[in-house]
Amino acid sequence: MIDVKWQDYITADPAIMVGKPIIKGTRITVELIVEKLGYGETVEEILNDYPHLTHEQIYACLRFAAHTVHSRRSRKLVA
């Protein structure tokens, strides 16, 4: 298990990527990483595509996404 604090790896700045959460020091959005994982790419495939990233940064994206979903109020989802 990789124990990371997303706050160490994720930031948001209105001047970078229109304020979307990104991996610190990059222009790679959390959204991009989570989307790639959601479509079945593995962590290793993402690291091959972005060799300057680390496992910790990828898992920080997932931890941030989980935190965001957890901290929002429940709402009806329409399929």
Number of domain units in the chain: 1
Tell me the residue range of the domain where 63 lies: 25-71
User: 52 lies in a domain?
Assistant: yes
CB count in 10 Å sphere of residue 60: 23
Q: What is the pLDDT of residues 1-10, one digit of tens each?
A: 778 899 999 9
pLDDT of res. 19: 96
Q: What is the pLDDT of residues 20-77, one digit of tens each?
A: 999 999 999 999 999 999 999 999 999 999 999 999 999 999 999 999 988 776 666 5
pLDDT of res. 54: 97
pLDDT of res. 79: 62
Q: Which of 37, 40, 35, 10 is nearest to 23 (CA)?
A: 10
Rounded to the nearest 10°, the torsion over CA 60, 66, 48, 54 is: 10
User: 7 lies in a domain?
Assistant: no
pLDDT of res. 5: 94
CA distances from 79 to 70, 76 (A): 20, 10
